[in-house]
Amino acid sequence: LDETQVRQDPEVPSAVAAIRTLLEFLKRDQSETILGLRENLTQTIRRLEEADSSVAVSSGGELFLRFISLTSLEHPDLSQCKKVMVERGELFLKKISLSRSKVAKLCHTFIKDGAKILTHSSSRVVLKVLESAAADKKRFTVYVTESQPDSAGQMADKLQNLNIPVTVVLDAAVGYIMEKVDLVIVGAEGVVESGGIINKIGTYQLAVCSKAHNKPFYVVAESFKFVRLYPLNQQDVPERFKYKADTLKAVEDLAEEHPMIDYTPPSLITLLFTDLGVLTPSAVSDELIKLYL
């Protein structure tokens, strides 16, 4: 169910596809008790994670589980609870489909005329931000990193379609190009409790370089990517996120594999643009506490 969803619409972020699948599952579920429902859902989430091991799916799944618990507290009767859940689920999906535009609206004012922007890998949110800035008649140039091992050449093509001058640079050339750049904007696969982010490998390097050159480092992420992790260093990020799902199943010794993501600590991030507003990294944990406690 999930595979078909994701393939149908490449614009949909993986977390949203996961949540949509879970909602469908909820509608068809036959369990008699809330506990049974939760167990089935947890199993489904685990199966989804096996198909796509990104942080976003995990955070989307946890958010959905939390949503179920909160709703079940208000309506102890199962059938009524289910009706309310399905209603609220649809509403939630509608709201988060608007979140990307909200983020773009907040962020594009930070892009000034004549700015040179550096971004990493392919992010649909960053693309939306750059689209809104271009629609606002701002002139700017973009440098995109090549982002091996699965090169993000698609980002460059999409930007060219929008008539934005774009240059692809090697991952190794980030230090070289940093002095020319005015600001750095990246997306995030997950935003952790400390206010740091988990994103495609190479983001940490980018952040360290931009700090050394005193360039602002902006992160754009929707709020459903907030995840309850608190890594203190790179090794703390759980293994199941670091590698693609196929790799996790196929390979015995993970020490031989290259990780696909890294962790950027909050001290290197200037501001986070989310659909909840413009946040400093210290404000992120506040938002997570409001939800989970």
Partner 1 sequence: MPGADKEADLTERIEAFLADLKRGGCGTGPIRGSGETARETTALLRKVTAQARWSSAGDLMEIIRKEGRRMTAAQPSETTVGNMVLRVLKIIREEYARSRGSSEETDQQESLHKLLTSGGLSDENFRQHYVHLKANVIEAINELLTELEGTTDNIAMQALEHIHSNEVIMTVGRSRTVEAFLKDAARKRKFHVIVAECAPFCQGHEMATNLSKASIETTVIADAAIFAVMSRVNKVIIGTQTVLANGGLRAVNGTHTVALAARHHSTPLIVCAPMFKLSPQVVITTVVRNRIILSKVNVHCPVFDYVPPELITLFISNIGGNAPSYIYRLMSELYHPEDHDL
> Can you tell me the distance from the alpha carbon of 216 to that of 57, in angstroms, rounded to the nearest whole number?
29
Phi and psi at 71, nearest 5°, equal -70, -40
279 contributes a contact to partner 1 by CB under 8 A: yes
- Our CB check for partner 1 shows the closer of 12 and 110 to be 110
Q: Exposed, middle or buried, 69 (CB in 10 Å: 0-12/13-18/19+)?
A: exposed
Structure tokens at 142: 């973009």
288 contributes a contact to partner 1 by CB under 8 A: yes
> Can you tell me the distance from the alpha carbon of 124 to that of 216, in angstroms, rounded to the nearest whole number?
20
Residues in contact with partner 1, shown as a per-residue x/- string from 48 to 87 under the rule CB under 8 A? ---------------x--xx--xx----------------
- Our CB check for partner 1 shows the closer of 151 and 270 to be 270
> Can you tell me the distance from the alpha carbon of 92 to that of 70, in angstroms, rounded to the nearest whole number?
14
For residue 182, what are the CA distances in angstroms to 75, 117, 129, 178? 52, 6, 16, 8
Structure tokens at 272: 């986070």
207 contributes a contact to partner 1 by CB under 8 A: no
127 contributes a contact to partner 1 by CB under 8 A: no
**Residue of 1, 115, 260, 291 that binds partner 1 (CB under 8 A):** 291
283 contributes a contact to partner 1 by CB under 8 A: yes
> Can you tell me the distance from the alpha carbon of 92 to that of 96, in angstroms, rounded to the nearest whole number?
6
- Our CB check for partner 1 shows the closer of 71 and 247 to be 71
User: Where in 251-270 is the site for partner 1 (CB under 8 A)?
Assistant: 270
User: Where in 86-115 is the site for partner 1 (CB under 8 A)?
Assistant: 88, 91-92, 95-96, 109-110
Contacts of 66 (CB under 8 A, 6+ apart): 291, 292
- Our CB check for partner 1 shows the closer of 178 and 276 to be 276
Contact segment (CB under 8 A) with partner 1 among 24-32, 142-150, 227-235, 272-280 equals 272-280
Which residues contact partner 1 (rule: CB under 8 A)? 63, 66-67, 70-71, 88, 91-92, 95-96, 109-110, 223-224, 226, 270-271, 275-280, 282-283, 286-288, 290-291
